[in-house]
Structure 1
Amino acid sequence: MPQGIRQHKKTSRYESIIYTAEHLFLESGIDAVQMQDIAKAEGIGIATLFRYFPKKEKLIVAVAIKNLERTLAQLNTIVQSPKTAYERLEDTLNYLLTNQTREKNSAKFREAFESYASIAKEPLTDIELYIDIQKEITMALLPIIEDGKSDGSLRTDIPIKETVITLINTYGTFGNNVLLKSPITYTEDDFLPEVQLRILKDIFLSYVNPRYWS
């Protein structure tokens, strides 16, 4: 078999294992799923699975990295658009809102993974790769911040870098909390999580908009 075809098949299998594992982790919980369960669902032998992922935690982290990579790809698209910095920041918050409301499984897995990793007795294998993706996401947002200084669409009388990163992190965390916990949290019908997120988004955007503070 030519080397290129062999590598393509290997990459396809790698991606498929990650997809299958993510589905099982969401369905049954990270702790409950065993490597044998993943191999069976993927339709491969356990020895083949271990050739790709020698330890379960390496697979868990790989799923988490793939999850964040999807977010990074979307943010890069937003950041590279020819809009003002303010408009791109608004698009970023809109993406987070859409991602959290329509793609709840992604947010649900991230929440489960970070809880799992935070109580692990030792740092998970390859966890530094997950942290590196988080850094890449932060770096991807920097053009918005820099462009906001030059195009005048963001305030310059506040530490804008710290402010924007804090707002985005807070918005993402709050969104995960109110959406993922909505089945066990009482809220009035006219104050649903989506409504709260839209209100919070408007508050954040008004804070960085220089027109409100001139």
Structure 2
Amino acid sequence: MTGIQQQNKNKRYNSIIQTAESLFLEHGLDHVQMQHIADAEGIGIATLFRYFPKKNKLIVAVAVQNLERNIQHFEEIVSADQPAVERLKRVLDHLTVKNTAEIKHSTKFREAFESYASFTKEPLEDIEDYINVQKRIADILLRIAEDGKVDGSIRADIPIKEAIITIINAYGTFGSNIALKSSISYLEDDIAPHIQQRMLMEMLLSYLRPYS
């Protein structure tokens, strides 16, 4: 295969994933069939199956690419010349579900995927690829824990690694849940999702900061 052929193959692969993600978001993972994706992509079903022999393989590929979008941004945050606790605050800022279509869609798909994966009778094929991306992100973020021990911006009397992972998971889950349900939940203006997220962030960060 020539370099141009490989580039075209990669371009088609990524295009299929983007098309599939849009359809999954609009209609739900269970309701979208491979033929729907082929039609929307403008290719034959046989061509689609050459890239993804099974629907579940395509679903996982979409989930992997969805999650990988965060890696570069997390790397930039963790590499910044700031106290560890301030870098963690920036990580939580990134996880805050802002009122943009792109971020909401990305979060909505991950929520749908993880729910879908948890209810399958057998583990999804290629699910290790998704888990490995999670591990890569965790390894990046845990550099904050090591730096916090050195710069003193995080308490030394707690298990820092466990605390940071717990805080990130708790904040991310809460933010996704409250933002995605805001359209079906009654909330007064003064307790809007972004206000609740900010309050939770301060609670979590105050646990990490050394006592003054």
Give the TM-score range, shorter chain.
over 0.9
> Contact 2:63/2:130 (CA < 8 Å) preserved in 1?
yes
Number of the residue aligned with 1:29:
28
RMSD: 1.1
How does the TM-score come out when normalised to structure 2? Answer: 0.96
Number of the residue aligned with 2:153:
153
In 1, Cα distance between the equivalents of 2:129 and 2:141?
19
Deviations 1:28-55 (A, max 9, x none): 1011000011011111111110000000
Quick check: 1:109 aligned with 2:102? no
Number of the residue aligned with 2:122:
122
Gaps of 5+ in 1: none
Alignment of 1:14-53 (within 5 A): 14-53=13-52
In 2, Cα distance between the equivalents of 1:115 and 1:100?
22
In 2, Cα distance between the equivalents of 1:38 and 1:18?
9
Number of the residue aligned with 1:131:
131
Number of the residue aligned with 1:13:
12
Distance change in 2, residues 1:100/1:68 (3 Å): farther
Structure 1 residue 73 displacement after superposition: 2.2
Number of the residue aligned with 1:181:
181
Number of the residue aligned with 2:2:
3
Q: Secondary structure at the match of 2:43?
A: coil
In 2, Cα distance between the equivalents of 1:79 and 1:42?
37
Structure 1 residue 128 displacement after superposition: 1.1
> Contact 1:100/1:175 (CA < 8 Å) preserved in 2?
no
> Contact 1:85/1:151 (CA < 8 Å) preserved in 2?
yes
> Contact 1:64/1:113 (CA < 8 Å) preserved in 2?
yes
Letter in 1 for 2:17: I
In 2, Cα distance between the equivalents of 1:172 and 1:93?
8
Deviations 1:101-132 (A, max 9, x none): 43100010001001111111111110111111
In 2, Cα distance between the equivalents of 1:73 and 1:67?
13
Deviations 1:61-89 (A, max 9, x none): 00000011012222112111122211110
In 1, Cα distance between the equivalents of 2:81 and 2:9?
38
Q: Secondary structure at the match of 1:187?
A: coil
How does the TM-score come out when normalised to structure 1? Answer: 0.95
Structure 1 residue 19 displacement after superposition: 0.3
Letter in 2 for 1:74: H
Q: Secondary structure at the match of 1:132?
A: helix
> Contact 1:100/1:176 (CA < 8 Å) preserved in 2?
no
Gaps of 5+ in 2: none
Letter in 2 for 1:108: K
In 2, Cα distance between the equivalents of 1:74 and 1:67?
13
Structure 1 residue 100 displacement after superposition: 4.9
In 2, Cα distance between the equivalents of 1:100 and 1:63?
22
In 1, Cα distance between the equivalents of 2:143 and 2:181?
33
Number of the residue aligned with 2:61:
62
Q: Secondary structure at the match of 1:186?
A: coil
